[in-house]
Amino acid sequence: MEKPSWTPIVLSGAIPREATDLLAILVMGIVALEASLATIGPAAFNSRIWLSLLVVPPTCALASVSTTTRRTREELALFAYGGSSWQILLRYFFRGAIIALVAFSPIILQVFLATTSLFELIVPVIVLFLAGGLFYSLPSLRRLQSSSFVENYKS
Amino acid sequence: MISVIETRSVIVEYPSIRGVLRLYDQGVSLKVDQGDFLAVLGGSGWGKSTLVNVVLGLERPIRGSVSFRDHDVTRESFVKRCGLVKTAAVFQRPTALPQMTVSQNLHLALSLAGVPRKERDERIKEALAFFGLDKIERSYPDGLSAGQRRRIDLARALAVKPELLVIDEPTGDLDGSATNLLIPLLRGLNRNQGTTIFMTTALPRQASQAKHQVHLRPPTYLAPENRMIGD
């Protein structure tokens, strides 16, 4: 038996490429830019970052939900091609994580230039990565677990 | 002989406005041996597509079991089943990925099936040519007709060279000439390459082309007290 490859399913869908993905980057980018340009002192700076992070879950979920019809078709196709739920979720997790990281890159860059502590840089990056990925993939998880999902294969 | 697929007394139920809809009232028990070509014949709404989903692990029966090569896979996913028997599925509704071209769709399916990169181009070329898709290989599925999208699914499934081909109403959405080509193609695959085929159809003439047939019965509606859902 040939060993099935799992990487194509993840790599072919991990790069954000749809209009709603770009919108999410834009929304978060504006917030991030505002935070990075604000003339606030170092003490308040970190709290500003955490406040900005709040925008990640709803924006990522919105980006994912707004294309439900198209995404359902993708999921049905990937299942038909032999993909698993986990591969499909991972595909969207990475896409969500990339969206959040790209959008928050101005803040990440600023923290990188300003801080002497690696910890202060890594923690928000990890939180961004997880929050973006998780909230982008949650709508897909909900769809895949729905009993009506496979009804879409029938005409 | 060990069966590729075996179902024992499979029953599926759905809640519906008219009561509980029970498919396969007496339970579906069937065996598909290696190299077999089985046609499941039944009317519209009799559970042909549901049986395909049950065989593939996309839906679970209320009662009964499904085995692949003597392994009980009733609770296993499609991916696990593919590990036991290299399976390709063609569903009633076209499933090509909308953001990929025809050719890219086939590439993805073959790479997922573990087909070596150097073999992929040749197999894709053959499959596209066979189904008359070579001129639209760079087109996206959304711009194509239902029949063309159906052919993409068939090309994708056959390019994988599966041990087991599960195909739900193969000629739906196909025009007359494509329909006339398809059943002989399936018979050829079965005879020459030993591909085991599990096919559903509503057409007795089509079912008669298979080596064996199973006839489904119409579903029944149960009063709520007789339902098995939630047992």
For B113-148, the pLDDT digits (tens) are 889 998 999 999 999 998 889 999 999 999 998 888
Under an 8 A CB cutoff, do B111 and A78 touch? no
Size of interface A-B (CB pairs under 8 A): 89
Element (H, E) at B13: strand B3-16
Largest CA distance in chain A: 62
- Whole-number Å distance between alpha carbons of A40 and A12: 41
Complex-level ipTM beyond the 0.85 threshold: no
- Closest partner residue to A155 (CB to CB) among B87, B92, B105 is B92
Whole-prediction pTM: 0.82
Separation of alpha carbons A138 and A136, rounded Å:
6
Helical packing angle, B117-130 and B146-159, nearest 10°: 140
Q: What integer pLDDT is reported at residue B28 of this predicted model?
A: 94
Contact at CB, B95 and A76, closer than 8 angstroms: yes
Cβ distance A154 to B108 less than 8 Å, yes or no, reads no
* Residue B175 confidence (pLDDT): 75
In whole angstroms, how large is the CA radius of gyration of chain B? 18
CA distance A33 to chain B (A): 32
How does residue B67 score in pLDDT terms, banded at 50, 70 and 90? very high
Q: Is the Cβ of A92 closer than 8 Å to some Cβ of chain B?
A: no
Per residue in A59-92, pLDDT (tens digit) is 999 899 888 888 898 999 998 888 889 999 999 9
Residues of B in contact with A6 (CB under 8 A): 112
Q: DSSP per residue over chain A, as a string?
A: -PPPP-HHHHHTT-S--SHHHHHHHHHHHHHHHHHHHS---HHHHHHHHHHHHTTHHHHHHHHHHTTHHHHHHHHHHHHHTT--HHHHHHHHHHHHHHHHHHHTHHHHHHHHHH-S-HHHHHHHHHHHHHHHHHHHHHHHHHHHHSTTGGGGG--
Ranking B4-8, B49-53, B142-146 by mean pLDDT, the lowest is B142-146
What average pLDDT does range B181-202 have in this prediction?
A: 91
Judge whether residue B228 has pLDDT over 70.
Answer: no
pLDDT digits (tens, 9 = 90+) for A13-40: 898 988 788 888 888 888 888 777 765 5
**For residue B231, what pLDDT is reported?**
47
Percent of chain A scoring above 90 in pLDDT:
30
Task: Give the model's pLDDT for residue B226.
Answer: 65
Predicted local confidence at residue B85, as pLDDT: 94
Q: Over 80: is that where the pLDDT of B155 sits? A: yes
Question: Among partner residues A2, A79, A155, which is closest to B113 by beta-carbon distance?
Answer: A2
The confidence band for A101, taking pLDDT boundaries of 50, 70 and 90, is very high
